[in-house]
Each structure stands twice: as C-alpha cells, then as structure tokens.
Structure 1
Amino acid sequence: MIAIVPARGGSKGLPGKNIKNLFGKPMIAYTIEEALKSKYITEVVISTDCKEIEKVAIKYGAKSPFLRPEYLATDSAKAIDNYIYTIDRLNKEFAYDIKDFVLLQPTSPLRTVEDIDKSIELFKDKNADSVVSYTEEHHPIEWHKYITEDGKFENIFEEKLLNRQEIKKSYFPNGAVFVFDYELIMQGKYYSDNSYAYIMPRNRSVDVDTLEDFRYIEFLLQERSNY
C-alpha cells in the first residue's frame, strides 16, 4: 500500500511548520520515518508545491514524482481534490495501480508505526471503505456553544442539564491516520456506512496548527526521550 504525505508550503498559522526543526529534525521527518517502518507501506510519496519541502522529504526517504500545481495549494483548495489529482497522475503517468492508500499528515508527528499498521489492519479486516483515526473528547460536546458577536451564548445542541457521567462519550478526528478506498475518494467522500474509527490516545493526537501546538509537542517528545 502507498502512503501519501500532503505538505503544502503556504502555512498561515505557523509558517514553514512542515520542515520546522522539531527536537533535532524537520517535523515532516517523523511522519516519513514512521511510515517507512510499516510492514504494509511499500512507498511514501510527498505531495507538495514547495521545492524546499520536497528536498527535505526525499532526504528522509519519500519519493516525489511531481510537484503539486499551485491551484491545489491555495487556502481555498480542497484537500480531497489534491488526493484525486495525485493518485490519478500516479496511476496514469507513472504506472501505479492504486486502489487504496494511506494518508499521513505531517502535522501529526507523534503518531507511531503501530498506529499506522493497526489502522491498515482494521481497514483490511473490515474490508472497509475508510478508516480514520479519532481520539476521545474529554469535554462533552453538549457543553459546546456558539458565541454571538456581542458575546451571548447560542445553543448548538438541545440544552439538557445532565451530569457529566450521564453523557455518552464522543470522539473527534485527530488528523493522524487516514486509510481510504480510492473509489470512495472519487465520490468526494471520506466516510460511508462502511467506515471505521481507529482510536488513539490523546498524548499521540496533537495536530500542529499553531506555535503553541508545536511547543507542546516539543515538550512531549522531551518527556518521551527521558524514558
């Protein structure tokens, strides 16, 4: 199975985050290295519009048959359109025969090869259309509110006064691992009635979007190195 690592150059929240030095190596290296340890992944392909990212990714073992076009690297571009573009070109121009694939975002550097392999095994065992990594939400979603421009509360859900223990657990996607059947992606979907969640712990579920996220991951990696 092939792994695709999408990493555009124009990050707004934390400029240059994909190749920013994280505890001694570029952040993207963590994703590529774990993917290459997988017993199921045969190749890691970087999908980027940035030659600097491409160079770093190749150094750590990824392949880059082509650069992503600019129109698929804007803030308004849909990620799913890039996946379709990438796989379509690999199949038609480079003699690949991709029917399913793993997507690994470089902004989840704490995910391990175990997470990758177990997600793929779940995908295969269930003959699934997709498997997406999730983590437990520690605060009930029923507590969430919209806040109006003048600072007032606006309900998202029907208001029920329940104790925390009475509320069913909920989970949210952590962005770490996606395993897709290409036919599902071609329909413009990530989920079907035959999709499953791979549950990850919170300490491996940090997705880097801001400098604060990045510093928190540095702290967790430091803690990990102490054991």
Structure 2
Amino acid sequence: MTETTGTLATIEDVRDLYFPGTPLSLRHLFGPGTRRDKVVAHVMARAGSNRIRDKNIRELHGLPLMAYSIIMAREMGADMVLLNTDSEEYRRIGERFGAQSPFLRPTPLGDDDVSPGLASYYAMRRLLESGYPVGVWIDMYPTSPFRSLRTLGRFMEILRKAGTCVSVGMMPPPARRAYLPGKGDTPIRLDYDESLFFYKPVGTFLGQNLDAERRYWRHYEAVVDPIELIDIDTERDWALAETILENRLFDFGVRLP
C-alpha cells in the first residue's frame, strides 16, 4: 500500500491483505492432473463514477450500460460471466442479464485510484479458491459497449492459439517537435523510427490462459472499427453512443433485448 493514503497499489498488496501466506503466482493451481477449462468473462462495474454518476447501470438506449458487455460475453460462449461489483443493486441488475456475482468486491478495491487490474486479480483468486475450474480469464470493460460477435470470435480464436489476446487501439505518432514550459520558443526534437506503430490497450477484450504453460506468446490485436473503440467516460461519449444506437449504425451480430 502507498504510505500516504493506504491505498492498495500492487498485486502483492492484494495478496497480502486477502490471501496471506499464499504464492503470488497461480502456478501451484495448474499442476499435472488438474483440469481447468472454463472460460470466464470478467466484467468490472463498481458503484458510482466520477464523471457520470452510476454510469454502469444507467440506461443506454434501453439497456444498462454494463448489460451490453454481459450480453456479448454470453453470446461469445463464456462459461461464466462474472460481474465484479461492490453493490447489491448492481449485482441484482447484472443477474437479470445472465451475470453471476458469487461475492462482492471489498470496499478498498473500489476506490477511484485503485487499478482495475488489482480488482481483476482479486476476483480471479477468489473464483479459483472457490473451486471453480477457470482456465481462461477475459476482462471486458463495461465502458466499451460496442463489440460485434464477429470481432469477439476473432479474439477468441487468437486467444486459443496464442494463450493471450489483448485488444488495442492504434495511436497517431507523437509530434516531431515540441515546446517545453519555460524554454521560450526553442523546440525540442523527438526522434523515433518511422516504421514504429503506436497503440494502447482498450477495454474491449483482455484475455489470457491462466496456465502459464499455455501462454505461447503475448498477442496484441487491433480493434479496427472506430465504433468499437468508443470508451464511455463523459456525457459527450454517452451522447455519441446514443446516436449510434438510435440510428442503428452498429451491428452487434446478435439481437439485443
């Protein structure tokens, strides 16, 4: 934990607080003779929000925002859709759409400045220690509601072959010249290889085989449809998503409720 705030900052912090005396790695759970073959789609939806209050359950074109991720996770064939939430209300809403919440997220893991990866690790460990034979873990962020069945099928196929699949969005390269505060009109030059591609992970699909022996390479797959790259963080993002849905500009590949 950080010394100044007591906030959980690392996976080690989560392990020490909730799973004391256990290894950090999951290798001991995947020894010879163990069978863990279930696919879990993990949807993180804590209560509240900074910019849009309770956005995860706010209705977007007739459905709670998080329902889009839950529905598509089920359609892609996940054995379980695990809703990781700290709210009984969110749990009830998620269950209406087929998610399961066998436990609630502890309050310290719901703080604004706690990395989503720590909440994911906690849920993964809880589910494994409950005896559920999860072998593949896929994070699907509820703020990314646009996923087509075709895209998810492509990601699942890559995940089966590579053992990992991380969705990414391409980024424009940085400027060649930049100005620093206090440096007047003298620019600095940024040199980089012209052949490089710049990208960042997006919340569409972050999948991995939990058995390290079955992770053959780390695969990054670009999301090419700009609509699928929409991440709802502001009211402007929300309005854009509403417009897309109202005008039927996106094909999910399935019929939504």
TM-score, normalization by structure 1: 0.80
Cα drift, residue 226 of structure 1: 9.0
- Given that 1:48 and 1:68 are in contact with CA atoms closer than 8 Å, whether structure 2 keeps it comes out as yes
- Given that 1:136 and 1:202 are in contact with CA atoms closer than 8 Å, whether structure 2 keeps it comes out as no
In structure 2, the CA distance between the partners of 1:154 and 1:81, relative to structure 1 (3 Å rule), is farther
Say whether 1:108 aligns with 2:108.
no
Amino acid at match of 1:6: M
Higher-Rg member (1/2): 2
- Rounded Cα–Cα distance in structure 2 between residues aligned with 1:226 and 1:119: 18
- Given that 2:48 and 2:55 are in contact with CA atoms closer than 8 Å, whether structure 1 keeps it comes out as no
- Rounded Cα–Cα distance in structure 1 between residues aligned with 2:155 and 2:202: 13
Say whether 1:97 aligns with 2:121.
no
| Residue aligning to 2:24 | none
In structure 2, the CA distance between the partners of 1:37 and 1:151, relative to structure 1 (3 Å rule), is farther
Cα drift, residue 167 of structure 1: 6.4
Runs of 4+ residues over 6 Å off in structure 1 = 149-154
Which of these residues, 43, 49, 55, is aligned with residue 11 of structure 1? Answer: 49
In structure 2, the CA distance between the partners of 1:71 and 1:22, relative to structure 1 (3 Å rule), is same
- Rounded Cα–Cα distance in structure 1 between residues aligned with 2:145 and 2:184: 36
Say whether 1:28 aligns with 2:66.
yes
> Where does structure 1 lack aligned partners over 5 or more consecutive residues?
185-191
Q: State the secondary structure of the residue aligned to 2:118.
A: helix
Say whether 1:120 aligns with 2:120.
no
Cα drift, residue 170 of structure 1: 2.8
Say whether 1:209 aligns with 2:209.
no
| Residue aligning to 2:20 | none
- Rounded Cα–Cα distance in structure 2 between residues aligned with 1:153 and 1:105: 42
Aligned residues between the structures: 210
Say whether 1:133 aligns with 2:133.
no
> Where does structure 2 lack aligned partners over 5 or more consecutive residues?
1-38, 252-257
Equivalent residues in 2 for 1:152-167, closer than 5 Å: 158-159=190-191
RMSD: 3.0
- Rounded Cα–Cα distance in structure 1 between residues aligned with 2:177 and 2:168: 19
More helix as a share of residues: 1
Q: State the secondary structure of the residue aligned to 1:18.
A: coil
Q: State the secondary structure of the residue aligned to 1:141.
A: coil
TM-score, normalization by structure 2: 0.71
| Residue aligning to 1:187 | none
| Residue aligning to 1:224 | 248
